[in-house]
Amino acid sequence: MSEQAHATTGTYLRVAAILVMITLIEVGVFYVPAFQSALVPILLVLSAVKFALVVMFYMHLKFDNRFFTFLFGGPLLLAFAVVVSLLFIFYGAVRLRTGV
Amino acid sequence: MAHAHHTSMGLDSRKMAFWAFIGSECLLFASLISTYLLYKGRSQVGPYPHEILNIPFTSFSTFDLLMSSLAMVLALAAVQRGDMRQGKLWLFVTALLGLIFLGGQVWEFNHFYHQGLGLTTNLFGSTFYVLTGTHGAHVTVGVIWLLTLWVQALRGKLGPAQAMTVEITGLYWHFVDVVWIIIFTVVYLIQ
Amino acid sequence: MKSWLTTTDHKRIGLLYFWTAFVFFLIGGLEALIIRAQLARPEGLGVSAETYNQLFTMHGTTMVFLALMPLSAAFFNYIIPLQIGARDVAFPRLNAFSYWVFLLGGLFMNASFIAGPLFGAGRLSVAPDAGWFGYANLTSKQFSPGPNIDFWLLGLQVLGIASLAAGFNFIVTILNMRAPGMRMLRLPAFSWMTLVTQFLVITAFPVITVALVLLMFDRFFGTHFFIPAGGGDPILWQHLFWLFGHPEVYILILPAMGIVSEVLPTFSRKPLFGYTVVVYSGVLIGFMGWGVWSHHMFSVGLGPIADSVFAGTTMLIAVPTGVKIFNWIGTLWGGQIRFTTAMLFAIGFIAMFIIGGLSGVSHASPPADLQQTDTYYVVAHIHYVLFGGTMLGLFAGMYYWWPKMTGRQLSESLGKWHFWLTLIGMNLAFFPMHFSGLLGMPRRIYTYAPELGVGGLNLISTAGAFLIGLAMLVFLWNIVRTRRSGAAAGNDPWGGATLEWAMSSPPPVYNFTVIPHVASRVPLWQTEHHAPMTPLPATPPAPIHVPGGSWWPLFTAFGLPTMAIGAISHQLWLVLVGVAVVIVGIYRWAYEPFEM
C-alpha cells in the first residue's frame, strides 16, 4: 500500500546509528563546560533532528501520503505554539513586571 | 477487519484515525511539558533537578528506547514480507526493550523517592512524576500491545494480512519514543 | 431492547444521543428556572447560597457538555453518513462506545445531586459548585472539601473520552468515506463545519484532560499544581482551562452554523451564497480560535503585551464570522423564501448571533472588558451566542431533519408558536442582562441588594426565562402530538438539495440502495451544468451486508464510570475492576469478527 520509495533495513540501521551518535553528542555537550552558554539551542536542535528522523523514517512519514504529514504536523505545530506562548506569557510577564 | 472498501482518500481508515490520535496526543504531552517548564525553578524546597537527575543512567534508557524503535521497524518489515520467524523475534525484542525501559523508570522513581523526592515534596517532584509517569503509562500500554501481537503471532494468527495492525502498533511505539526524546532533552539535559 | 443496547447503526445512535441530550437539556433548563426564580427580586431567598452555587455550576456544565454538544452529535451521527453518501461511520462500534460513555458520564455527574448521604455530607446534593470553569484554587481540597468537585473532574474526564473517540471517528468518516465524486468542495456545509469541529475537539480536549488530571492529583494525592502555598499558580489552571475553553465555544457554534448553512438554501431555493468562502471562513475560525484564549483572563494581570496581543486576535476572529453572516444574507437575497419553522429558527440564529457577536466584540477591548467581566453583561453575551446562536440553530436542525429521522413532520403551527415564544422569551431574558451587568450586577451571586437598582431588570429576565420554559412545553407537545398523529414524510418534504433527502424517511438500514455518484454540491437540484441526480433504485440490486450489533462498546464503556466511582469513593479495588473491564472489553472488541 505504501511501497513507493521504501526504506530498506540498511536505512533503518543507518538511522539507528545516527540516533545513537546524536544522543552521545547531546550527552557530551551536557558535560563539556565550554558549551554551557549555547547548551539550550544546541540540544533543542539535536533533539529536533532525532525527532524528525524517527518520524520521517521509522514512522514512514517521508514515504507516505502527504496527508498524514498534515494530520500530524498540524497538531504538532499547534502543540509547539502552545508551549512557546505559555512560556512567553509566564516568563515575559515576569520580566516586564520586575523590569529585568 | 474491513478491507477492499472504497475510500475517498485511498488511505487506510485505521491508519488515518491513528495519525489523528497521535496528533491529539501531541497536545496532551505539550500541556504536561508546559506545566513542567512553567514550574521549573519554582520549587520552594529541594531536592532540585541538578541534585538528583542521573544523566548516564537516563542516557542508557534513552538508548534503550531508540533501539526498541529499531527493533519495531525490523519487526514490521519482517511481517510485511511474511517472515514470521523474524517478525516474532523482533516483536519480542521491542517489548523486551520496552520492559527494560520501564524497569529503569521504576528503579529511578524508587531511587529518587529514597533521596527525598516524592510526588508532593515540591513542584519539581509533582511535575516530574506526572510527566514521566504519563509517558511510562503509555510505554506500559505499548508493551502490553506488543506482547499481545507476539502471542497472536505465536498462535500463527499474525501474518502479512495483519501488517497494517503491526504498522499502527509501530506508529504508537515510535511516538512514545519520540516523546521520550523530548522529555530527555527538556527535563534531563536542560536543567 | 437488546438491539438498542448493541446497536452500531449511526441512525439509532443519533436518536439515542438526541433523546438523552434533550432530557439533559430540560434538566439544565430547570436549573436555569430555579436560578431565575431566585433572582427575580432583590434579596430573594428561595435557595441557599450553597445550593445556588450548585445550580449555576450544573446549569453551565450540563448545557455545554450534556446538552449542546450531544445534540450536535445527534445530527453528526444521523446526518453526516447520509450527506456524504456512506452506509455508516468509519468505526461503528467506536461510535456506539462514544454514546454509552456520554450517557454514563452524564449520569455519574448528575448522581451527585442525590449522593450527599453516601459521603456523610449532611445534605442530599453534593453537585459540583465551583462554576462550569472550576477556577483554582477554589477547587482545592482546602476550599472545596466535599466530593462535589471530584464529581465534576471525574465526570468531565469520562465525557472527554466520549468526545475524543467521536472526534477521531468523524474525521476519518468525513475524509475517507465520501461517495464517488464528492470532492471536499462538494461536501455539504454542515459536513464541513462538523469536520472543523472534530479537529478542534481532538486538539482541545487533551488540554482540559491534563488540567483535570492535575487538579485530581492536587485533590487526591496532595500535590500543589494549583495551590499557592506549595508554589503552584492558580493562573496555570485558567490558561489550561481556556486553552480548551475557547476552542470549545467554537466546537459549540460551528455545527449550528453548519445547520443554518443547510436550512437557508433549502428554504430560499438557492444554493448557499459563497460556499467556498463560507467553508474557508469556518476553517479559519477553527485555526484562529486557538489564538484568543486569554481574552477570558483580561482581569488577571497578564500585562500590557499579552492583553494587547489577545485583544488583537480576538477582534480579528470577528472577521471570518462576519463574512459568514454576509454570505447567509446573500443566500436569502433574491431567494424564493419559505418561512417554515426551520427557516424562522435559522434566521433567528443570524439575528441573535449578531447581537451576541457585538457584545463579544466589546469584550475584546481589555479596558472595556475590565468593567464587563464577571458581570451579567457576559451572561448576556454567552446566552445570545449559545442560546440565540447554537440552540436556535439546533432547533432549526430539529424541525428540518425531524421528518428524515422519524418519518413524520412536526406541526408547523405549533412550531411557529415555539419559535416566537422562544425568540421573545430569550430576548426578554437576556437583553436586560446587558444593562444589569453594566450597572454592576456580578455573576454567580445568589442574591443582590435592592440598592443595586437591578431588581426590575431581573424581574423581566425571569419572566423571559419562564416564557422560554413555556415555549419548551409547546415543543414537547409538538413532539408528542407528532409521534401520535404527525403527517407522514416522504423522501424530501422540503425539496432539499443534499444526499440525505435522496431516500425514504427514515432511511432503510443500509441508507442507500446504491451508493450514488455525486456530480455537484447540490446533487438533488438542477444546476447550470447538472441535471438532478437520478433517483436511487427502490431496492438494492444485490443483498447489502449490514454489520450486526456488538455488546463490547457498552461493556467497555461501563469500565469508565466504574473507575470514576472507585476513585470518588477512594476504593482502589473498584478502580482496578474498572480498568480490568476496559481491558477485557478492548480485547474482546478487537478480536470480535465485525465486518462492515
- Regarding whether A77 and A52 lie in a shared domain, the answer is no
- Regarding whether C524 and C396 lie in a shared domain, the answer is yes
- What the block records as the C-alpha cell of C242 is 481556556
- Regarding whether C577 and C467 lie in a shared domain, the answer is no
In the predicted structure, residue A98 carries a pLDDT above the cut 70: no
- Regarding whether A78 and A58 lie in a shared domain, the answer is no
- Regarding whether A59 and A75 lie in a shared domain, the answer is no
- What the block records as the C-alpha cell of C20 is 438523552
Q: Are C533 and C524 in contact (CB under 8 A)?
A: yes
Find, among C442, C304, C307, C445, the residue nearest to C363 by Cα: C307
Instruction: Kindly list the residues from chain A whose CB atom is less than 8 angstroms away from the CB atom of residue C207.
Output: 82
Residue A100's pLDDT is what?
41
- Regarding whether C365 and C503 lie in a shared domain, the answer is yes
Find, among C412, C293, C438, the residue nearest to C359 by Cα: C438
Bridge partners, residue C375, by sequence = C442
Record: contact B38-C236, CB cut-off 8 A:
yes
- Regarding whether A81 and A56 lie in a shared domain, the answer is no
State which residue of chain C sits closest to B9, comparing Cα positions.
C176
Chain B contact for C579, CB < 8 A? no
State which residue of chain A sits closest to C233, comparing Cα positions.
A90
- Regarding whether C545 and C560 lie in a shared domain, the answer is no
Residue B5's pLDDT is what?
65
Domain encompassing residue C588: 555-596
Average pLDDT of chain C, as a whole number: 97
The nearest CA of chain A is from the CA of B113 a distance in Å of 25
- Regarding whether C70 and C193 lie in a shared domain, the answer is yes
State which residue of chain B sits closest to C201, comparing Cα positions.
B24
The answer for residues whose C-beta is within 8 angstroms of residue C91's C-beta and 6 or more apart is B13, B17, C168, C169, C172
- Regarding whether C474 and C367 lie in a shared domain, the answer is yes
- Regarding whether A45 and A58 lie in a shared domain, the answer is yes
Interface ipTM > 0.90: yes
Record: contact B7-C91, CB cut-off 8 A:
no
Residue B47: asked if its preceding bond is cis (omega within 30°), the reply is yes
For chain C, the domain total comes to: 2
Residue C595's pLDDT is what?
75
Residue B3's pLDDT is what?
44
- Regarding whether C576 and C462 lie in a shared domain, the answer is no
- Regarding whether A77 and A56 lie in a shared domain, the answer is no
Rounded-to-integer distance, Cα C445 and Cα C240, Å: 25
Among A30, A67, A76, beta carbon nearest to B189: A30
What count of other Cβ atoms lies within 10 Å of the Cβ of residue C48? 11
The kind and range of the H/E element at B99 are helix B84-114
- Regarding whether A29 and A73 lie in a shared domain, the answer is no
Rounded-to-integer distance, Cα C564 and Cα C570, Å: 10
Strands C487-488 vs C408-409: parallel, antiparallel or unpaired: antiparallel
Q: Are B165 and B148 in contact (CB under 8 A)?
A: no
Rounded-to-integer distance, Cα C303 and Cα C311, Å: 12
What count of other Cβ atoms lies within 10 Å of the Cβ of residue C558? 16
Record: contact C231-B43, CB cut-off 8 A:
yes
Chain C contact for B24, CB < 8 A? yes
Residue A94's pLDDT is what?
52
- Regarding whether C576 and C442 lie in a shared domain, the answer is no
> For chain C, which ranges sit under pLDDT 50?
none
Task: Classify residue C413 by burial, with Cβ atoms within 10 Å: 0-12, 13-18, 19+.
Answer: exposed
What integer is the mean pLDDT of B79-104? 97
- Regarding whether A4 and A18 lie in a shared domain, the answer is yes
Nearest-Å Rg of the Cα atoms of chain A is: 18
Sign of CA dihedral C172, C175, C180, C182: positive
- Regarding whether C393 and C479 lie in a shared domain, the answer is yes
Residue C432: asked if its preceding bond is cis (omega within 30°), the reply is no
Which residue, chain included where needed, has cell 520501564? B102
pLDDT band at A93 (very low <50, low <70, confident <90, very high): low
Rounded-to-integer distance, Cα C129 and Cα C151, Å: 10
The nearest CA of chain C is from the CA of A93 a distance in Å of 6
Residue B2's pLDDT is what?
41
Chain B contact for C181, CB < 8 A? no
Among C207, C290, C302, beta carbon nearest to A93: C302
Domain encompassing residue A75: 65-100
The nearest CA of chain B is from the CA of C163 a distance in Å of 12
In the predicted structure, residue A21 carries a pLDDT above the cut 60: yes
Find, among C399, C270, C272, C260, the residue nearest to C336 by Cα: C270
Record: contact A71-B16, CB cut-off 8 A:
yes
State which residue of chain A sits closest to C290, comparing Cα positions.
A78
B191: amino acid identity, one letter = Q
pLDDT band at A5 (very low <50, low <70, confident <90, very high): low
Give the A window 60-79 contacts with B, CB below 8 Å. 60, 65, 67-68, 71-72, 74-76, 78-79
- Regarding whether A60 and A23 lie in a shared domain, the answer is yes
Q: Which chains lie within 8 Å of chain B at 3 or more CB pairs, if any?
A: A, C
Residue A99's pLDDT is what?
44
Query: Cα C370 vs. chain centroid, distance in angstroms?
Result: 28
- Regarding whether C596 and C514 lie in a shared domain, the answer is no
Instruction: Kindly list the residues from chain A whose CB atom is less than 8 angstroms away from the CB atom of residue B69.
Output: 16, 54, 58
- What the block records as the C-alpha cell of C122 is 449532611
Q: Are C72 and C25 in contact (CB under 8 A)?
A: no
The nearest CA of chain A is from the CA of B174 a distance in Å of 7
- Regarding whether A79 and A98 lie in a shared domain, the answer is yes
Bridge partners, residue C442, by sequence = C375
Instruction: Kindly list the residues from chain C whose CB atom is less than 8 angstroms away from the CB atom of residue A93.
Output: 302-303, 306
- Regarding whether A72 and A58 lie in a shared domain, the answer is no
Residue C45's pLDDT is what?
83
CATH number for position C37:
1.20.210.10
Residue A34's pLDDT is what?
86
Sign of CA dihedral B30, B33, B37, B43: positive
Q: Which chains lie within 8 Å of chain C at 3 or more CB pairs, if any?
A: A, B
- Regarding whether C577 and C495 lie in a shared domain, the answer is no
Chain C contact for B169, CB < 8 A? no
- Regarding whether A70 and A46 lie in a shared domain, the answer is no
- Regarding whether C440 and C536 lie in a shared domain, the answer is yes
Chain C contact for B120, CB < 8 A? yes
- Domains of chain B (ranges; CATH) run 54-189 (1.20.120.80)
pLDDT in tens, B47-68: 999 999 999 999 999 999 999 9
pLDDT in tens, B119-137: 999 999 999 999 999 999 9
**Hey, is C1 helix, strand or coil?**
coil
